[in-house]
Structure formats: structure tokens, C-alpha cells
Chains A and B, each alone.
Chain A
């Protein structure tokens, strides 16, 4: 029964990846390589595939991105590298995500260990949260020679990668492998440890040269009208429940309404269909020409047989009956369903971390610093996009900033020392 939920679409073979790579025009000053928020260089790794150097391609991807195999699967490439692809002038862009998946799967099959721990510099950093951005910070710092402790409130690392993105889109084996790679690099992960509860921020600050808060927007928002309604479940809660049980959940409804128009809503609706829930309706605030979910996600959701109705907002709820009104036209509909799942955005829980989070669920200023010079933010709570590829970008940037700060401080101390 869970096969449709657990099975990822097949990837390229050695023959088919070469056919796809052969479509690449090998552009001069390749536009794809300028379009990645995380600085991935597709032109370089596709060229390596083209010239039979898959190991070299893996190096190009991995040295830049701690989560290369994950980004290959979940990145909305249509907005970045594939949007920029020159091949579009002929027919359709190169499947850059697909080629990256082949290369990173090869990397795993060949047991390549590309990243190496840097020579210890005697410095320590603590990271609060083991989601994508925290993992990238850890990786960059480990390669620079820092000791890294990660504090994770859950039983497993990975945050939304582990507890959110459905198995058919991001197999848990892949996430575990990426995390294992980072642990092998030297990351020390403290599971079931909530900072601000089990261990205090002040302790982390006292014992480390810097602390990075990477907690993420890990809780679903609930519209007031749905509070305390027993027919309602949050998207975050539902996706985590299904993923942990590998799709084996027993209380599936016969039909369901999903409210939301982003990737999370698409994941919930598609998961329900893949678990054989017969009627799944997704009600989206946005109309299709302003849709938030990626085209790939939207397409997958439609192919899974979800009815998507765009432009409607919920106006009233009575038990399991929800009334929606169109935002622009005079249209109203009421749907009765066994289950209502809310995918209307997420919120940050930064309790006891001394971080100010504004109504946009992020810090109220650009950049990664905080009022405390030792404390930094990254991931969802830093301003900017909330996708995995942006988490990686932010993780790399904050890591460089912290490294520079610590190294500059050392240099200053040396100078002062020299004067004495």
C-alpha cells in the first residue's frame, strides 16, 4: 500500500545520463552556473559527465554543497539554473537536477569521501538545529578545522529534510547518508536536546567561540477559525507522522481537503493520493498565475490526481464543513471532508534563545549577526528565501563570516600580545 509513497521516480542510467549531458551546449560563460543561489557550477559538472569523469563531477558538486544529493532532488531548478539554460533556445532546458542526482548517487555507490576535516584550529562552534542550513554551517566549519557541536531537539537530525519532505521526493536513506557524511567529517550531534530547555544559550556561548541559531520554521501556522477543531491537522505534523511511519499510518481519511498553495501543500496533497486517499482537494489562496509551489511540484500533484482549486480563501468552518470564497469573483463553495490539513505557512519557535523573530518569521534585519556578537542566525530565520538551496547558501555565508570574525580576533590578539 505504501509503495507509491516510498518509491522515488527512477534516475538516469549511465547511458541515459550521457544522452542528457550530450544535449548540453557546453556554453561559454555558462548562464546556468551564474544562476544557483548556492554557487553550484552545473556547467562544470555536466562537462565532466560529458567527458566520462563522473568522479570529477562529484567533486565539483560536493566541494560546494554539503547537501548535493538532497538539492539534486528538491531544488526548484526551474527558477534557477534551468531557467537560465541556453538550451531553452532550442527546445527545453537540460535536466540539471537529474544529472546532479546521477552524479551524487554515483558518489555514494563509489563510496567517495570528497570532503576532508580541516586540521584542528582549536576553535569550537555550536549550532542550534540540524536542518539544512545548520548542516551546511557544520560542514564548512569542519573543513576549516573547527570543532562542531550540533544541538537537535528531535530524535533524528535533518529537520524538515527528515521530518517534512515526503519519501517519494526525498528518500530518507539519502538524507541519512548525507548526515552520516557530516558526522564522519567530525560533527558531534546531541539528539533530543532542546536549547533553552535542556541546555542554556549562556552555556553554549561560554563554551564556544560562536553559536549559530538555525532553528527553522518548524511549526505549522493555524488560522484562528480552525483552532481546537478535531478534524484539523497541520501539514508539518501530518508529513512528519507519515514519513516516520514510512507511509504505514492507519487513520487515513476517505477524503481530505488541503488548504494552501505552496510546496508543502503540494507535498501533503500528493502524499494523501499516494497513500490511496480517494478524493483530495487542494484549496489555494493564490491563483495559478501567482502560484507559490514550483512547477515541478504542481505538475506532480496534478498527475497524482489532486483537484486543485485556485483563488479561494476559507471564510467559515463548522466541524468538518469548510466554506471558501473566491478572492476576486463572486463564488462560494462548501466542502465537507473527513480531514482538513492546513498548509498555510510555518512559524518559528525560538523560545529562550534570545532571538527576536518578527511577523515574517525571521529576524527583523538583513544578514546573519545578532545583538550578541557571538551569536548568529541562519536558515529560515535569516532573511531571504526559505528553500533548501537558500539554506545552503546562507549556511556557507554565515560560516565564512564567523570564520573571518574568529580569525580576525585571533590576529588582533596576536598583535596585542606582540606589543607586550
Chain B
């Protein structure tokens, strides 16, 4: 079995690998975190601890899933709020985890309703020997408007509460941001100005995943009614990656320390977050679906990726993609690349023909007798929709041509690495 050093240093804290449970139902008590640590997770953002006066009162049922054809859990909707256990119990669990797992990293997620709450909670979790504090400024389904994403979308409040936590603790502070905002940069900047050391993002996206079309309300249905609440899982990964890239490209935030969250379930997902600048990675939805064991393949797969990339430390790739992701107006528009059809692989289903005609530029000609597509290069714009819909990977990127009147050598153009990298 391959062995590589997956450790990362983040906000002055050493993590044996980047994989953490995010603040959620998956890290809700001592027993859960202990099992996760035993299976290889490097740490946990313990389920958000709130002030004593805020009573958590949950609905039943509280989850829903988005499916597509036969695939479950494309996305996951949940209505849970913060930790249900009493404050004392949570603090006790944090302490016991640190005592019994001294090399694992305990991040205390906290959430208050005012400055006093935040400061007190920060003091309490610091006394409980947490390694780091994560401020939950982003839960979209709190029953109080003084909590969660209503706070996280207000930079002034964010700054004020970060300052309160800073007063209450000398631990590193992560501010967990909501994606329910057009631009995350002002809130992230406000948190750093207030005293946070890094950003955790994204929390869940406000959503209605499905309706109960007989009862005519959103799922899950609670006594005949539904609500907007947070969406997570694979479907939100693109949104998470986008926010992380936009944070890292904002002026002065190029080295922003980030704990990445949003639909991570494979080592490839993990590599993507790292390449965009996340140093640690937080996971919930795929653990809810598959269990803590998924960390084994994330770790092992990441080691193989490091081997392929010829690197010894993950720090060598953190943020490595930031600079090559540019505004759309900066992209090279001087060429197009035609699709190339591999006749040995083509099975004659005609899906490329349908998609090109109905969804693109009518550039695939269909031979009815032979049941084979050919590309009409006069009409083809090189969009590669055909490549994406082909069920057998018979279509790839082919010849590169410069557009009429444009300068450049087609051979210098860097086209995509093959989508099917294996065989």
C-alpha cells in the first residue's frame, strides 16, 4: 500500500491529513468522533455549540434528497440546526476527545445570538481544550434571525462577532461563510478584519429540492408544510469551488487560509479543493450516505495522485490552479478544436447526433444506413457537447484550427487532458 505524507499545517495547527468531519450531524457526540478518528479522519469540526438560552427543537422528518435517474443523493437537503445536546455535555465531549485523541484536531464550532454569547462560547471551548474555533455564521435554517446565514450575509455583524470571539480566545479562528450571497468577499474580509484567521466555506445552499406534489408543499413535509432549507452534497461542489476561487482571487486574499467544504466524496474532489486553495477539507453529506469509511479511499487516492504529480507534500499543490482560472474575457478565443470520433469505439446510438441537432449547431451528420455520425466541419463550432453525451467515450478533442484571420500556431494550444484518463 502506498505511503505518502498527507499532513498539512493550517493556521499554525498540524493536521495528519486534510480530512475533517464538518460541523453537522456526523460529528455530534464523543462516540461518533472517536469512531471517525479510528477510521482515519484527522479531526472534526464538532457540531455547532450554541448558547444555553437557545433551545434547539427539531422537526421530523428532516431530510430530503435530489436524485437523477438511478443515482441517489445527487444533492441532500437538511433542516437540522445546531447541537441538541446540553452545553455541558458538548464541552465535556470536546475535552474527552482531546484527552483521548491528542494528535487529532478538535475544532469547536460555535454560534451565538449576540456579542456576549460569542465571547462566552469562545472562552468555554478554549477552556475545553479545543485546538481551533469555527464560527458558524451561515446555517440557513435557524429558527432565530439573530443566528446563522442572516448574520453571515451582514458584514458589519460578522466583523463585530469575530471581534467578540477574538476577545474570548487566543485560538485560531475560522469564520464559516454562507453561499447564500452574491459575493462572499465582503463578509470574508469583514471576518478577517474582526479577528478571524481563515475562512471555512461553503455552508449549505438555501433550497427546495422536491415537492410533495399531492400535498402541494416542499419535502420533507412536516404536518402538511415544508420550508426552504440547506442543500449539500455533490450537486453543490461547483458552487463551493466557485466561491473558493473568488475568495482567493480577491485583492489581498491570494494566500487566504481556507477550509473547503461542499460535496467532497472522492480523492479527486479533494484534489480540486486543494488546487483552488483549501488546506483542510470538511465532509458531511457523503459520510451520511456511506459512512466514515470513505476517508480510506480519499486518503489512498490522494497519495496516488501525489505520486503521479511527483510531489512529497500537499502544500506544493494548494492553490496551484488559482492563477490559471481567469475572467472569461481573458480566455483565448482565436481557435476552435474539432471533435474526433473513434469509429472502433462508436456503437451507433446516435446520441451525439440528437444533442448536436437539438442542443448545438446541427454539425453532426447521421448516416442512417451505417448508423454512424460524421462531423460537418463547416458547421461545427467546437463546443464538444457531443463529447459529453457519448456513452462510450468515442468522441475526444481532435484537430485544432485557428479562426479565420487570427494569429497563432494550433500546435501551441493546450487542449484538455482526456476526460477518460484511464482505459
Contact pick for B267, options A52, A63, A106, A109, CB 8 Å: A52
Q: Give Cα A38–Cα B217 distance, bound, in whole angstroms.
A: 54
Chain A residues 26-57 with CB under 8 Å of chain B are 26, 47-48, 51-56
Asked if A318 lies at the interface with its beta carbon under 8 angstroms from chain B, I say no
User: Is A321 at the interface (CB under 8 A from chain B)?
Assistant: no
Contact B297 A48 (CB under 8 A): yes
Minimum distance in angstroms from A104 CB to a CB of chain B? 13
A228 is an interface residue with CB less than 8 A from chain B = no
- B393 A14 Cβ-Cβ under 8 A: yes
| A250 beta carbon closer than 8 Å to chain B | no
Interface size class of A (residues with CB under 8 A): 10 to 19
CB distance from B396 to the nearest CB of A (A): 13
Residues of B within 8 A of A52 (CB): 266-268, 297, 301
**C-alpha spacing A47/B420, complex, angstroms:** 20
Would you list which residues of chain B between 261 and 314 have a CB under 8 Å from chain A?
A: 265-268, 290, 293-294, 296-298, 300-301, 304
Bound Cα distance A110, B266 (Å): 20
Q: Which chain A residue shows the least CB distance to B71?
A: A22
Q: Which residue of B lies closest to A54 (CB)?
A: B422
Residues of B within 8 A of A51 (CB): 265-267, 294, 297-298, 301
Query: What 1/0 flags go to A43-75 for Cβ under 8 Å of B?
Result: 000011001111110010001000000000000
B392 at interface by CB-CB < 8 Å: yes
How many residues of chain B have a CB within 8 Å of chain A?
A: 23
Contact of A53 among B71, B300, B393, B420 (CB under 8 A): B300
Closest residue of B by beta carbon distance from A47 = B297
Is the CB of A15 closer than 8 A to any CB of chain B? yes
Scoring A13, A15, A56 by chain B CB atoms within 10 A of each residue's CB, the highest score goes to A56
For B392, list chain A residues within 8 Å (CB): 13, 15
B300 and A59 form a contact (CB under 8 A): yes
Interface residues of A in 268-300 (CB under 8 A from B): none
Minimum CB distance partner of A44 in chain B: B296
Cβ < 8 Å to A, chain B residues 1-25: 1-2
Q: Nearest chain-B residue to A23 (Cβ)?
A: B70
CB distance from A115 to the nearest CB of B (A): 11
Given contacts A15-B392, A59-B2, contact A53 B423 (CB under 8 A): no
Given contacts A51-B266, A63-B1, contact A56 B422 (CB under 8 A): no
Q: Is B393 within 8 A of A15, CB to CB?
A: yes
Contact A26 B290 (CB under 8 A): yes
Q: How many A-B residue pairs have CB under 8 A?
A: 57
Interchain CA distance A26-B286 in the complex, whole Å: 13
Q: Do residues B1 and A59 form an inter-chain contact, with CB atoms below 8 A? A: yes
Residues of A contacting B294 with CB < 8 Å?
51
Is there an interface contact between B304 and A53, defined as CB atoms closer than 8 Å? yes
Which of B296, B391, B423 contacts A106, CB < 8 Å? B423
For the complex, what is the distance from the CA of A48 to the CA of B304, rounded to whole Å?
A: 13
Complex alpha-carbon distance, A217 and B422, angstroms: 40
A14 & B304 in contact (Cβ 8 Å cutoff): no
Given A13-B392, A52-B266, A47 contacting B293 (CB threshold 8 A): yes
A-contact 0/1 string along B382-423, CB 8 Å cutoff = 000000000111000000000000000000000000001011
Name the distance in Å between B293's Cβ and chain A's nearest Cβ.
Answer: 7
In the bound complex, what is the Cα–Cα distance between A310 and B294 (angstroms)? 49
- The docked-state distance in angstroms from the alpha carbon of A56 to that of B393 is 24
Pairwise interchain contact A53-B422, C-beta atoms closer than 8 A: no
- CB-contact partner of B304 in A22, A26, A55, under 8 A: A55
Q: Pick from B70, B265, B297, B420: contact of A14, CB below 8 A.
A: B420
Contact A56 to B297, CB < 8 A, known contacts A14-B423, A106-B423:
yes
A53 touches B266 (CB 8 A): yes
Please report which residues of chain B, range 46-101, place their CB below 8 angstroms from some CB of chain A when the two chains form the complex: 70-71
- A14, A15, A26, A53 interface centre (most CB from chain B within 10 Å): A53
The CA-CA distance from A15 to B423 in the complex, in Å, is: 9
A413 to chain B, nearest CB (A): 33
A47 to B423, CA, bound (A): 19
Query: In chain B, what residue has the closest Cβ to A19?
Result: B70
A23–chain B nearest beta-carbon distance, Å: 9
Task: Give Cα A110 to B290, complex, Å.
Answer: 28
Enumerate chain B residues within 8 angstroms of A105, measured Cβ to Cβ: 423
Question: Distance (Å) between the CB of A363 and the closest chain B CB?
Answer: 36
Evaluate contact between B300 and A56: CB separation under 8 angstroms.
yes
> Chain A contacts of B423 at CB under 8 A?
13-14, 105-106, 109
Task: Indicate the member of A15, A51, A55 with the most B CB atoms within 10 Å.
Answer: A51
Contact with A along B173-216 (1 / 0, CB 8 A): 00000000000000000000000000000000000000000000
The residue of chain A having its C-beta at the shortest distance from the C-beta of B286 within the complex is A51
B422 touches A106 (CB 8 A): yes
Query: Which residues of chain B are near A48, meaning CB under 8 Å?
Result: 297, 300-301
- Residues in A neighbouring B296, C-beta threshold 8 A: 56
Question: What per-residue 1/0 map shows which CB atoms of B251-269 lie under 8 Å from chain A?
Answer: 0000000000000011110
- Chain A residues 209 to 258 lying within 8 A of chain B, measured CB to CB, are none
Least Cβ–Cβ distance between A154 and chain B, in angstroms: 33
Enumerate chain B residues within 8 angstroms of A63, measured Cβ to Cβ. Answer: 1
- Residues of chain A within 8 A (CB-CB) of B393 are 13-15
B166 to chain A, nearest CB (A): 39
Q: With a CB–CB cut-off of 8 A, which chain B residues contact A109? A: 422-423
A26 to B290, CA, bound (A): 8
CB proximity of B74 to chain A, nearest CB, Å:
13
A13 to B265, CA, bound (A): 22
Give residues 126-185 of A contacting B (CB, 8 Å): none
Complex alpha-carbon distance, A257 and B70, angstroms: 48
Query: In the docked arrangement, what's the CA distance between A52 and B270, Å?
Result: 12
Cβ-closest chain B residue relative to A49? B297
CB of B6, distance to nearest CB on chain A (Å)? 14
Q: Are B301 and A53 in contact (CB under 8 A)?
A: yes
Within 8 A of A (CB), among B130-157: none
Q: How far is the CA of A141 from the CA of B71 in the complex (A)?
A: 45
Q: Which of A13, A48, A54, A63 neighbours the largest number of chain B CB atoms within 10 Å of its CB?
A: A13
- The docked-state distance in angstroms from the alpha carbon of A105 to that of B422 is 11
Residues of B within 8 Å of A15, CB to CB, are 391-393, 420
- Give the complex CA separation of A105 and B296 in angstroms: 22
Chain B residues packing against A (C-beta within 8 Å): 1-2, 70-71, 265-268, 290, 293-294, 296-298, 300-301, 304, 391-393, 420, 422-423
A residues with CB within 8 A of B: 13-15, 22, 26, 47-48, 51-56, 59, 63, 105-106, 109-110
- What are 15 A-B interface contacts by the 8 Å CB criterion? A14-B393, A14-B422, A15-B393, A47-B293, A47-B297, A48-B301, A51-B266, A51-B301, A52-B268, A53-B301, A55-B300, A56-B296, A56-B304, A105-B423, A106-B422
Q: A48-B301, A54-B422, A55-B304 are in contact. List 6 more A-B contacts (CB 8 A).
A: A14-B423, A47-B293, A52-B267, A53-B297, A56-B304, A110-B422
For the complex of A and B, 4 pairs with smallest distance between CB atoms: A53-B301, A56-B300, A51-B297, A53-B297
